[in-house]
Chain A
Amino acid sequence: MTALLELADLRVSARSGRADREIVHGVDLTVEAGQTVAVVGESGSGKSLTMLAVMGLLTDPLRVTGGTVRLGDRDLTALSERELRTIRGNDAAMIYQDPMTSLNPLMRVGDQVVEAMTAHGVPKAEAGRRMLDLLARVGIPDPKRTARAYPHEFSGGMRQRVMIACALAMRPRLLIADEPTTALDVTIQQQILALIDELRRELGMTTIWVTHDLGVVARLVDRVVVMYAGHVVEDAPVRQVFSAPQHPYTKALLAALPDPTDDDRPPLAQIPGRPPAATDSVEGCPFRPRCAQAVDACATRPALQPRAQGRAACWVPPHEWRN
Chain B
Amino acid sequence: MLTATDLVKQYPVRGGDEVVHALAGVSLTVGDGETLGIVGESGCGKSTLAKLLVRLEDPTSGTVELDGVDLTALRGPALRRQRRHIQMLFQDPYSSLNPRLRVGQALGEVLAVHRLADGRQRERRVGELLEMVGLGAAFAARYPHELSGGQRQRVGIARALAVEPRVLLLDEPVSALDVSVRAEIMNLLVDLRRDLGLSYVFISHDVAMVRHISDRVAVMYLGRVVEIGDWKSVLDNPRHPYTAALCAAVPAPNPELSQPIEATVAGEVPDPAAPPAGCPFHPRCPLAQDACRRLDPALLPLPLGSGHQVACHVATEQVTGRSLAPSGS
Residues of A within 8 A of B (CB): 42-43, 155, 157-158, 185-191, 193-195, 197, 212-216, 218-220, 238-239, 242-243, 252-254, 256-261, 263, 265, 267-271, 274
- Determine the residue in chain B with the shortest Cβ distance to A191: B263
Residue with the greatest number of chain A CB neighbours at <10 A, chosen from B187, B253, B259:
B253
A237 to B202, CA, bound (A): 36
A286 to B17, CA, bound (A): 61
12 A-B residue pairings within 8 Å (CB atoms): A43-B149, A185-B205, A185-B269, A187-B249, A215-B253, A219-B257, A238-B257, A257-B183, A258-B208, A268-B212, A270-B184, A271-B180
Q: Is the CB of B207 within 8 A of A256?
A: no
Question: What residues of chain B lie closer than 8 Å to A197, measured between beta carbons?
Answer: 260-261
Q: Is the CB of B269 within 8 A of A270?
A: no
Question: What residues of chain A lie closer than 8 Å to B232, measured between beta carbons?
Answer: 263
Q: Is the CB of A187 within 8 A of B148?
A: no
Question: What residues of chain B lie closer than 8 Å to A43, measured between beta carbons?
Answer: 149, 178
The answer to whether B329 has its CB under 8 Å from any CB of chain A is no
8 more A-B residue pairs beyond the given contacts A186-B249, A258-B209, with a C-beta to C-beta distance below 8 A: A187-B245, A213-B251, A214-B251, A215-B252, A215-B253, A252-B180, A268-B187, A274-B148
Q: Is the CB of B261 within 8 A of A270?
A: no
The answer to whether B195 has its CB under 8 Å from any CB of chain A is no
Given that A185-B42, A190-B249, A256-B182 are contacting pairs, would A267 and B257 also be in contact in the complex, using a CB cutoff of 8 Å? Answer: no
- Taking the closest CB of chain B, its distance from the CB of A217, in whole angstroms, is 9
Question: What residues of chain A lie closer than 8 Å to B184, measured between beta carbons?
Answer: 270
Given that A186-B207, A187-B41 are contacting pairs, would A265 and B212 also be in contact in the complex, using a CB cutoff of 8 Å? Answer: yes
**Interface range on chain B: under 10, 10 to 19, 20 to 34, or 35 or more?**
35 or more
Question: What residues of chain B lie closer than 8 Å to A253, measured between beta carbons?
Answer: 179-180
- Specify which of B212, B250, B261, B268 is in contact with A194 (CB 8 Å cutoff): B261
Given that A185-B41, A185-B269, A265-B212 are contacting pairs, would A270 and B249 also be in contact in the complex, using a CB cutoff of 8 Å? Answer: no
- Determine the residue in chain B with the shortest Cβ distance to A277: B148
Q: Is the CB of A242 within 8 A of B251?
A: no
Q: Is the CB of A186 within 8 A of B211?
A: no
Query: Helix, strand, loop or mixed for chain A's interface?
Result: helix
- Specify which of A189, A195, A215, A269 is in contact with B255 (CB 8 Å cutoff): A215
The answer to whether B246 has its CB under 8 Å from any CB of chain A is yes
A263 to B259, CA, bound (A): 23
- Specify which of B41, B148, B253, B261 is in contact with A257 (CB 8 Å cutoff): B253
- Determine the residue in chain A with the shortest Cβ distance to B231: A265
A213 to B178, CA, bound (A): 8
Question: What residues of chain A lie closer than 8 Å to B212, measured between beta carbons?
Answer: 258, 265, 268
A189 to B41, CA, bound (A): 11
A70 to B262, CA, bound (A): 34
Q: Is the CB of B252 within 8 A of A269?
A: no
Q: Is the CB of A256 within 8 A of B266?
A: no
A238 to B254, CA, bound (A): 11
A188 to B263, CA, bound (A): 8
Q: Is the CB of B255 within 8 A of A270?
A: no
Residue with the greatest number of chain B CB neighbours at <10 A, chosen from A213, A258, A270:
A258
- Determine the residue in chain B with the shortest Cβ distance to A195: B263
- Taking the closest CB of chain A, its distance from the CB of B186, in whole angstroms, is 6
The answer to whether B190 has its CB under 8 Å from any CB of chain A is yes
- Taking the closest CB of chain B, its distance from the CB of A84, in whole angstroms, is 31
- The residues in B between 67 and 93 inclusive whose CB is less than 8 angstroms from any CB of A are none
Question: What residues of chain B lie closer than 8 Å to A252, measured between beta carbons?
Answer: 180
- Taking the closest CB of chain A, its distance from the CB of B185, in whole angstroms, is 10
Q: Is the CB of B183 within 8 A of A260?
A: no
Q: Is the CB of A189 within 8 A of B257?
A: no
Question: What residues of chain A lie closer than 8 Å to B50, measured between beta carbons?
Answer: none
Q: Is the CB of A190 within 8 A of B179?
A: no
A213 to B250, CA, bound (A): 12
A187 to B148, CA, bound (A): 30
Q: Is the CB of B186 within 8 A of A268?
A: yes
